[in-house]
Amino acid sequence: MITGKNYIGNQLSASGNKTFKTFNPLLNIENQWEITEASKDEVDQASELAAEAFKTYSKISGAKKAEFLRAIADEIEALGDDLLQVYSAESGLPNGRAMGERGRTLGQLRAFASHVENGNWVDASIDTAQPDRKPLPKVDLRKMNVPLGPVVVFGASNFPFAFSTAGGDTAAALAAGCPVIVKSHPMHAATGEMVSGAVVNAAKKTGMPNGVFSNLNSSGIEVGQQLVKHPKVKAVGFTGSIRGGRALYDLAAKREEPIPVFAEMGSINPVVILPEALKNRAETIAKTYSASITLGTGQFCTNPGLIIGLKSEGLTNFVNTLAKEIVKVEPSCMLHPNIAGAYESNKKKALSQNGLKVLASYTGEVETNYARQVVTTVEGDTFLNNPTLHHEVFGPFSIVVQCESEQQLESIISNLEGQLTGTVISDDNEIASYSNIVSALQNRVGRIIFNGVPTGVEVCPSMLHGGPYPASTDSRFTAVGVDSIKRFVRPFSFQDWPNNLLPDELKNENPLGISRLVNNKKTNQKI
Amino acid sequence: MITGKNYIGNQLSASGNKTFKTFNPLLNIENQWEITEASKDEVDQASELAAEAFKTYSKISGAKKAEFLRAIADEIEALGDDLLQVYSAESGLPNGRAMGERGRTLGQLRAFASHVENGNWVDASIDTAQPDRKPLPKVDLRKMNVPLGPVVVFGASNFPFAFSTAGGDTAAALAAGCPVIVKSHPMHAATGEMVSGAVVNAAKKTGMPNGVFSNLNSSGIEVGQQLVKHPKVKAVGFTGSIRGGRALYDLAAKREEPIPVFAEMGSINPVVILPEALKNRAETIAKTYSASITLGTGQFCTNPGLIIGLKSEGLTNFVNTLAKEIVKVEPSCMLHPNIAGAYESNKKKALSQNGLKVLASYTGEVETNYARQVVTTVEGDTFLNNPTLHHEVFGPFSIVVQCESEQQLESIISNLEGQLTGTVISDDNEIASYSNIVSALQNRVGRIIFNGVPTGVEVCPSMLHGGPYPASTDSRFTAVGVDSIKRFVRPFSFQDWPNNLLPDELKNENPLGISRLVNNKKTNQKI
């Protein structure tokens, strides 16, 4: 069933001669499947085919796109337990997580289907002509969102379903009307091939043009670079490291025709605990955060890597309880030996910084590729003056910064890089007295949370998953939720265009019955 | 009244020692005013002050921002004829154009005031909590657009009012809640100072924070480069040449924290004339285009630099009439000797290309800095294979491409760089038979026009002024119309945030009475 080949549109293809294998971190052995890396020719073929498919796919109706997206979800579901087993074999993630993430992925595909089905999402806007206007007549102008062109999606290591082959970026791009070329993540290439097969089946069954979807394997960086540089590619979605995302961003910016790169990258997700909260419930908060820090072996992009408080008895209680609680958590397996190795070396680098003290560290025996969680603490000024401590350690690692003053706390937050999330833990009325700190935090993040944990990213219209650089390369867009479709469209204007040749969304008759801005008033009436 | 100084917030400042003068192209003499270039210190001061102003300005109400924008319009209007005279002295543009452009500028400022006054524009979205949801409770999430931070605006040479100091980019950024630092265009620095004075007066009168607006002079590129590299600057608006816009884009992309650059650059605005239209009304079309090519001395970014048709008797008629008509137009003055000089050398370069033939050229005597219009013609394959002919010659210059076949015509369009506009001249039903050509054109432009001319950019919600690179650096946004505000905002999410601390746009009570997406349904009700 798993061939190790690439999908160039609907065709399996393996013209290259470089192969690699994925790895089972739980068993600490290579998986059986031999994966063939895409050749330069195959990259070109997939790109050209996508550009050809764009000519028709960019114009099909929302209803047809919805049918395609729902068929993808159905086909993935039909793969059943076989798919879940391959997922676990390539990630070390347990069956429960596999089921949960599959559910989320199917939910995303179906949510995008509903979103584009009726056409409201194109932001249709119509200004009718005024031929008698003085001094100059007014022309008829009609505007709506149209797709950008072929999109390259880079699968994420930590979400083999939800942010990979048929994950959020792919669903958003296909919903927008853009063909997708997936650069499959090398850590779960077999999972990727199975999901790709489901997408290809769905494309065939619903009559989509060949090339609307391709899936290319690679273990190195060449295939990705070739894709980002290819003139037919018009946008890139990426989830991963700052180094990787920035490299793609730089490559895209240097093209003769620069293209947008939406990279969701690193974040340490600062958590500020205010004094009254520390005084009244330091232990409860510590227990909650012990769980959040270690959730999914700390491999979520919203993992709380930085906790900040003002020195006090409460903070001491918090720190002591966190130290006690964190070592009770049973260590778990990381996604891949390389990720476990990176965790060890990044942790070591952080721990070698002057002034960073270990609060508690799991010291028991663990299996290979398992991560031992660590919580640390540091003085406010030490943290402020050492940018190395501001960098993410991907895994179950967190720093508690103990501040001397509100001013220092505000200064620490203002000097952080951009973050996906910021959290404030506060007693009910306390937060109102800290508006400077809250403002500073808002200015550095994409989502701000009151009395919660940053882990857990709800898929809904009001979610913003992204944030100022380097949380993402473009803070103006979300990577989660239906609004992520906006990354892959551009507005387009028709001037005095014949009614019968306009897209349905802009015709006088309003055949789709959608809500439109007509002469600056929202209406679903015809003209 | 004109001091030649910079505005650092509300203060006039001239600590630098480099000065320059603007030029009156009609009289062919330097203007009297001595303009002092901003120093590196002044760039830093303006940037720091803007960042400080952002802390309060980002949070003031839509009503207050509307008051400020309307006050700017009123203050500009109050400058009366004095301003129009300085405008004409620095651009050579006639009084009628000055009045028209001022009207457009005031209209833009007031349109943005209305747009942000009520708060609908923030795209408020609310998903309420579901504490009992299984398997996991759902948190409360609320999302709206918030401003990016200080914005640098580069004034345009060809619109001293409408795309300069208080033009479209500035109005959009201020409306969004972003402080603005204008890098004043060196060709109309005195006009810029007068308009800046109006903005500063309006800011004082309406109680805006000092630093919400600054205006910096420079005759070279250093001030602009320093601004784009400054860490406190978060976005850039630019209107001008591809070379200039790309240089700023590259600079911004290389920053440690890359920032968006919205550059509206060059375009040759292809016009396709279909066979029946040529057969039935070649002469009329030629007369219309003779006027469009020479409008404003060809100095509009939507100037039709490329006209394409299939070889036929009709095309020959068109070409002959265009040749006859174009020489009847009285030449006019360009904006500056440098622009007149660039027109001459770009024209010369184009005319030296193999196969490009002059159809007609104004050969009479003209005043210094006046532009002699030229129309040329070339065979389809010659044009297709010579990218030099695809480049804009800024001024009253146009190429008529005579194609052998529909395939060749489609191929020419598909191989064009991105364009602001594309036009199809067609008899009523003819266009339906050319869907391939129309599709190819749509894919290359931001706005498509039926039976009109590209010159004339209506300011209304359905206008898209922008297009695929290099028409603009980001085809996903318009530079004209109220939607241009979207360039300077990012969506932001509040999770479980206390109702009394939310912005008014997201509070349960909906105190602004705006339309919001609540649990996926549009409503202006409270929660």
Complex ipTM, two decimals?
0.96
Which structural domain, as residue segments, surrounds residue A348? 270-450
Report, in angstroms and rounded to the nearest whole number, the Rg of chain A calculated over CA atoms. Answer: 25
User: How close is the nearest chain A Cα to the Cα of B222, in Å?
Assistant: 22
- Grouping H, G, I as helix, E, B as strand and the rest as coil, residue A329 is coil
Closest residue by Cα to residue A267 from A390, A441, A400, A385:
A390
Q: CB of B464 within 8 A of CB of B446?
A: yes
Kindly state the helix (H) or strand (E) to which residue A225 belongs, with its residue range. helix A222-229
Contacts for A429 with CB less than 8 Å, ≥ 6 apart: none
Across the range B271-281, mean pLDDT stands at: 97
Give domain status of residue B361, yes or no: yes
User: Among the residues of A20-167, which ranges form H helices?
Assistant: 40-57, 62-78, 80-91, 95-117
Give domain status of residue B525, yes or no: no
How many inter-chain contacts (A to B, CB under 8 Å) are there?
181
What pLDDT sits at residue B91?
Answer: 97
Cα separations (Å) of A301 from A160, A161, A295, A337?
14, 15, 11, 19
Burial of B144 (0-12, 13-18, 19+ CB in 10 A): buried
Is residue B346 located within the same domain as residue B360?
Answer: yes
Verify whether residue A367 is a known catalytic residue.
no
A432 CB neighbours in chain B (<8 A) are: 500-501
Task: Select from B423, B434, B476 the residue whose CB has the most chain A CBs within 10 Å, as the one to mutate to test that interface.
Answer: B476
Dihedral of alpha carbons B217, B220, B225, B228, sign: positive
Across the interface, whether the CB atoms of A258 and B473 are under 8 A apart is answered yes
Residue appearing with tokens 């179906």: A110
Verify whether residue A301 is a known catalytic residue.
yes
Nearest to B497 among A148, A448, A474 (CB): A448
Is residue B211 located within the same domain as residue B355?
Answer: no
Across the interface, whether the CB atoms of B127 and A517 are under 8 A apart is answered no
Q: Which of A301, A325, A392, A505 is catalytic?
A: A301
Is residue A146 located within the same domain as residue A220?
Answer: yes
Is residue B252 located within the same domain as residue B290?
Answer: no
The 10s digit of each residue's pLDDT in B474-491 is: 999 999 999 999 999 999
Q: How many domains does chain A have?
A: 2
Across the interface, whether the CB atoms of B464 and A143 are under 8 A apart is answered yes
User: How close is the nearest chain A Cα to the Cα of B6, in Å?
Assistant: 29
A475 CB neighbours in chain B (<8 A) are: 148, 490
Is residue A253 located within the same domain as residue A354?
Answer: no
User: How close is the nearest chain B Cα to the Cα of A497, in Å?
Assistant: 5
Give domain status of residue B105, yes or no: yes
Q: How many Å from the N-terminal Cα to the C-terminal Cα in chain A?
A: 54
Is residue A219 located within the same domain as residue A328?
Answer: no
φ, ψ of residue B14 to 5 degrees: the values are: -150, 70
pLDDT at B497 > cutoff 90 = yes
**Residue A254 maps to which CATH number?**
3.40.605.10
Report, in angstroms and rounded to the nearest whole number, the Rg of chain B calculated over CA atoms. Answer: 25
Across the interface, whether the CB atoms of A253 and B258 are under 8 A apart is answered yes
Distance in angstroms (rounded) separating the CA atoms of residues A163 and A465: 13
Across the interface, whether the CB atoms of A492 and B448 are under 8 A apart is answered yes
Nearest to B495 among A417, A449, A470 (CB): A449
What pLDDT sits at residue A494?
Answer: 98
pTM of the full structure: 0.97
One-letter identity of residue A503: P
Closest residue by Cα to residue A188 from A87, A106, A98:
A87
Is residue A206 located within the same domain as residue A223?
Answer: yes
Q: CB of B143 within 8 A of CB of A464?
A: yes
Q: Are β-strands A29-30 and A23-24 bridged in parallel, bridged antiparallel, or unpaired?
A: antiparallel
B442 CB neighbours in chain A (<8 A) are: 146, 492
The 10s digit of each residue's pLDDT in B74-90 is: 999 999 999 999 999 99
pLDDT bin (cut points 50, 70, 90) of residue B266 is: confident
What pLDDT sits at residue A135?
Answer: 85
Give domain status of residue B520, yes or no: no
**In chain A, which residues have pLDDT < 50?**
none
Q: What is the DSSP string of B301-353?
A: TT---EEEEESSHHHHHHHHHHHHHHTTSPP-B-S-HHHHHHHHHHHHHHHTS
Dihedral of alpha carbons B324, B325, B326, B327, sign: positive
Distance in angstroms (rounded) separating the CA atoms of residues B24 and B163: 20
Is residue A239 located within the same domain as residue A274?
Answer: no
pLDDT at B1 > cutoff 90 = no
Q: Which of B178, B301, B333, B403 is catalytic?
A: B301
The 10s digit of each residue's pLDDT in B313-357 is: 999 999 999 999 999 999 999 999 999 999 999 999 999 999 999
Give domain status of residue B426, yes or no: yes
Is residue A277 located within the same domain as residue A258?
Answer: no
Is residue A103 located within the same domain as residue A184?
Answer: yes
Cα separations (Å) of B302 from B184, B264, B294, B456?
23, 11, 12, 8
A515 CB neighbours in chain B (<8 A) are: 522
Give domain status of residue B493, yes or no: no
Q: Which of B42, B264, B417, B505 is catalytic?
A: B264
Distance in angstroms (rounded) separating the CA atoms of residues A109 and A172: 8
Across the interface, whether the CB atoms of A463 and B143 are under 8 A apart is answered yes
A148 CB neighbours in chain B (<8 A) are: 475-476
The 10s digit of each residue's pLDDT in B183-200 is: 999 999 999 999 999 999
Across the range B221-239, mean pLDDT stands at: 97
Is residue A165 located within the same domain as residue A91?
Answer: yes
User: How close is the nearest chain A Cα to the Cα of B76, in Å?
Assistant: 22
Is residue A230 located within the same domain as residue A347?
Answer: no
**Residue B420 maps to which CATH number?**
3.40.309.10
Q: Which chain B residue shows the shortest CA-CA distance from A114?
A: B520
B484 CB neighbours in chain A (<8 A) are: none
Give domain status of residue A344, yes or no: yes
Give domain status of residue B401, yes or no: yes
Distance in angstroms (rounded) separating the CA atoms of residues B391 and B232: 35
